[in-house]
Amino acid sequence: MSTLGFIEYESASPEVRAVYDDIRTTRKTDYINNFWKALAHDPATLRRTWESLKQIMAPGALDPLTKEMLYIAVSVTNQCGYCIASHTVSAQQKGMSDAMFSELMAVVGMANETNKLVTGYQVEIDERFRK
Tally Cβ neighbours within 10 Å of residue 35.
17
Shortest spacing between CB 76 and a second copy, in angstroms: 4
Query: How far is the C-alpha of 19 from the C-alpha of 114, rounded, in Å?
Result: 41
Report how far residue 103's alpha carbon sits from residue 84's, in angstroms, rounded to the nearest whole number: 16
Residue 103 is a binding residue for a second copy (CB under 8 A): yes
Find the binder of a second copy among 13, 26, 52, 93 (CB under 8 A).
52
Answer yes or no whether residue 28 interacts with a second copy by CB under 8 A: no
Applying CB under 8 A, does 30 fall inside the site for a second copy?
A: no
Which of 13, 26, 45, 93 is in the footprint of a second copy by CB under 8 A? 45
Is residue 130 helix, strand or coil?
Answer: coil
| Region of 7-15, 17-25, 36-44 interacting with a second copy (CB under 8 A) | 36-44
Our finding on whether 124 is near a second copy (CB under 8 A) is yes
Q: Which of 94, 101, 97 is nearest to 28 (CA)?
A: 94
If one asks whether residue 128 binds a second copy (CB under 8 A), the answer comes out as yes
Site for a second copy in 62-101 (CB under 8 A): 62, 66-67, 69-86, 88-89, 97-101
CA 48 – CA 59 distance, rounded (Å): 19
Cα–Cα distance between 29 and 116 in angstroms, integer?
Answer: 41
